[in-house]
């Protein structure tokens, strides 16, 4: 076996043996099965056991851990993965999942599992993106999602406060949690959060400007400072004391209220309202964490000054206040009438926070 590897110029496998990344017995078994070219480290370990260890490692959110265990059980139930599979079989498992989910139109399910398996190889098995296993899975294309849920951004601040009032009046949810849900809706509508950025607490006061720093990770532009309209400190504290508010939980509450809005619609609402408030496009691209498609957008990208942030904050606040002074629409098919008390409390809060 070693002579043949030497003749084939398989230097990388020899280096991995020398550095202790691979065991000779694993190389031998892989050689007998004709798949030694896939070896990169940890390939001989039991796949299900390693996936469960990764899932329960504590690096994932509680909801993610629970969801992952659920679809791993589904994979096992339908024979996509078994107790006999080892890590080296992962490309075969992913291909099997592709063949299973594609005709059933469950594209999101496959795409999420594919991403999870790639993260498992990198974070748990310590493979680089150049490893044969990683590359083999990447070559299995994502399934294109052809049907997406409709977007329903809030039309006016009256709709925002009417929705918040519905949440606060929901007797099926404990009082304290109702307030957390209401604050989550308020924060995500008045600031350009991605849901993951908000729910994972990737935000804090910016020490230089006094505004809100969002520490996103999706793109280079995701780490950004945005105008801070409200800052509910007790929400952060409540999150650290046990109860974990997650995006699916908020969406579940919204569905029960028969609201067409989802958590991602709050970010869209902010973008539309900021444009109506007269905030410059180059500033809005920065706040949203977007790159922009034109060369001009690239040239205009820069860190905004405190004065610019202050000016945009005044524009946005003035827009909200002026809209709230207008009479709400007569027909509100999805929202209860806006609470005057909620509006008054909000206006007082932004005055105190500024």
CA distance to 25, 42, 153, 212, 299, per residue, from 354 (Å): 66, 55, 26, 12, 31
Position 346 scores a pLDDT of 57
CA distance 160 to 178: 15
Q: Which residues contact 321 (CB under 8 A, 6 or more apart)?
A: 347
Residue ranges per structural domain of the chain: 40-138, 157-325+333-353
| HSE-up of residue 80 (Cα within 13 Å, Cβ side) | 20
Burial 184-198, CB ≥16 within 10 A → b, else e: bbbbbbbbbbbbebb
CA distance 98 to 102: 6
Cβ neighbours of 183 (radius 10 Å): 18
**First-to-final CA distance of the chain:** 72
Position 175 scores a pLDDT of 80
Position 60 scores a pLDDT of 76
Position 237 scores a pLDDT of 53
With beta carbons less than 8 A apart as the criterion, state whether 206 and 212 touch.
Answer: yes
Give pLDDT tens digits along the chain (354 positions).
Answer: 666 655 555 566 666 666 666 677 766 776 666 655 555 566 778 999 999 999 988 877 676 788 888 889 989 999 999 999 988 889 999 999 999 999 988 888 899 899 999 999 888 887 878 778 888 899 999 988 766 667 889 999 989 988 988 888 888 888 878 888 888 898 999 999 988 888 888 888 888 998 999 887 665 567 889 999 887 655 555 554 456 677 888 888 899 888 889 998 999 999 999 999 999 988 998 898 866 555 555 555 667 889 999 999 999 999 998 998 887 764 444 554 455 555 555 555 555 555
Position 332 scores a pLDDT of 47
Position 189 scores a pLDDT of 93
| DSSP letter for each residue of 67-126 | HHHHHHHHHHHTTSS-TT-BGGGHHHHHHHHHHHHTTTT-HHHHHHHHHHHHHIIIIIS-
Position 333 scores a pLDDT of 43
With beta carbons less than 8 A apart as the criterion, state whether 246 and 61 touch.
Answer: yes
């Amino acid at each position: 076996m070693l002579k043949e590897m030497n003749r084939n110029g398989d230097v990388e496998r020899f280096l991995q043996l020398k550095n202790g990344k691979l065991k000779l017995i694993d190389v031998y078994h892989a050689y007998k099965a004709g798949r030694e070219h896939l070896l990169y480290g940890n390939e001989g370990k039991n796949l299900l056991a390693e996936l469960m260890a990764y899932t329960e490692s504590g690096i994932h959110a509680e909801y993610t851990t629970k969801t992952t265990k659920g679809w791993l059980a589904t994979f096992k139930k339908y024979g996509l993965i078994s107790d006999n599979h080892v890590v080296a079989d992962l490309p075969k498992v992913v291909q099997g999942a592709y063949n299973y989910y594609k005709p059933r139109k469950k594209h999101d399910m496959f795409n999420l599992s594919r991403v999870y398996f790639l993260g498992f190889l990198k974070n748990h098995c310590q493979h680089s993106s150049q490893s044969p296993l990683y590359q083999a899975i990447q070559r299995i294309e994502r399934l294109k999602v052809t049907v997406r849920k409709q977007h329903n951004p809030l039309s006016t601040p009256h709709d925002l406060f009417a929705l918040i009032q519905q949440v606060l009046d929901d007797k099926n949810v404990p009082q304290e949690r109702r307030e957390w849900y209401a604050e989550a809706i308020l924060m995500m509508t008045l600031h350009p959060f991605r849901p993951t950025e908000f729910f994972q607490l990737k935000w804090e006061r910016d020490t230089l400007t006094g505004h809100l720093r969002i520490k996103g990770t999706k793109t280079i532009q995701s780490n950004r400072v945005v105008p801070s309209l409200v800052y509910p400190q007790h929400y952060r504290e409540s999150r650290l004391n046990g109860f974990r508010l997650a995006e699916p939980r908020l969406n579940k509450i919204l569905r029960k209220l028969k609201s067409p809005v989802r958590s991602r619609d709050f970010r869209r609402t902010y973008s539309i309202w900021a444009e109506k408030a007269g905030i410059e496009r180059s500033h809005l691209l920065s706040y949203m964490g977007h790159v922009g498609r034109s060369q001009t957008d690239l040239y205009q990208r820069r860190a905004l000054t405190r004065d610019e942030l202050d000016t945009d904050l005044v524009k946005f606040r003035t827009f909200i206040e002026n809209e709230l002074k207008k009479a709400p629409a007569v027909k509100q098919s999805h929202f209860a009438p806006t609470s005057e008390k909620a509006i008054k409390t909000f206006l007082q809060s932004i005055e105190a926070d500024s």
